[in-house]
Chains A and B, each alone.
Chain A
Amino acid sequence: MPPPDEDDAAIIRRSLREPERFAAIFDRHAPHIMRYLAHRVGRQVADDLVAETFLVAFGIRGKYDLDRPDARPWLYGIATNLVRRRQREDGREYRLRAAIVPEPDADGHADRVAEQVTAAAMNQLLGAALVELSSGDRDVLLLVAWEGLTYDEVAQALDIPVGTVRSRLNRARRQTRAALTAKESVNRG
Chain B
Amino acid sequence: MDEMTLLGNVVDQTPLPTATDLAPARQRLMAALTAEQPRKSRKRLILSGATVVGLAAAITGVVAFGGFGVAPPEADAVEFLHRAADVVRELPATPPRPDQFVYTRGETTDGAREAWLSADGEHDGMIRAQGEDTPLPGCKDGRRRVMRGDVDMGMTEPCDVWPAYRRLPTDTAGMRAYLEGTPNDFDILLHFAIQETYVSPQAMAALFEVMADFPGLEIVEDATDGAGRHGVGLTWAQPADQNEVTLVFDQETHVFLGTEDTAVFVHAIVDAVGQRP
Most A C-beta atoms less than 10 A away, residue of B22, B38, B50: B22
Decide if B3 touches A26 in the complex (CB within 8 Å): no
CB distance from B267 to the nearest CB of A (A): 26
A98 pairs with B7, CB closer than 8 A: yes
Q: Given the interface contacts A59-B54, A62-B243, A180-B3, does A20 sit within 8 Å of B13 by beta carbon?
A: no
A52 adjacent to chain B (CB < 8 Å)? yes
Contact of B7 among A35, A62, A126 (CB under 8 A): A126
Name the residue of chain B whose CB is nearest to the CB of A174: B3
Indicate whether A18 reaches chain B with its CB closer than 8 angstroms. Answer: yes
Using known A-B contacts A55-B28, A82-B240, determine if residue A19 contacts B33 with beta carbons closer than 8 Å. Answer: yes
A19-41 residues at the B interface, CB under 8 angstroms:
19-20, 22-23, 26-27, 30-32, 34-35, 38-39
- B contact residues, range: 35 or more
Which residues of A sit under 8 angstroms from B16, Cβ to Cβ?
Answer: 31-32, 34-35
**CB–CB B29/A55 < 8 A:** yes
Asked if residues A122 and B17 are in contact (CB atoms below 8 Å), the reply is no
Is the C-beta of B91 less than 8 angstroms from some C-beta in chain A?
no
- Choose one: B2, B6, B10, B242; the contact of A59 (CB below 8 Å): B242
Contact in complex: A34, B26 (CB < 8 Å) = no
Q: Residues of B at under 8 Å CB distance from A?
A: 1-4, 6-11, 13-14, 16-17, 21-22, 24-26, 28-30, 32-34, 36, 38-40, 50, 54, 69, 240-243
Q: A23-B26, A60-B243 are in contact. List 19 more A-B contacts (CB 8 A).
A: A20-B34, A23-B30, A30-B17, A30-B22, A30-B25, A31-B16, A34-B16, A34-B22, A35-B17, A51-B28, A55-B29, A56-B240, A59-B54, A98-B7, A98-B10, A123-B10, A126-B10, A145-B8, A180-B6
What are the 6 tightest A-B residue pairs by CB atom distance, in nearest-first order? A145-B7, A51-B25, A55-B241, A31-B16, A51-B28, A59-B241
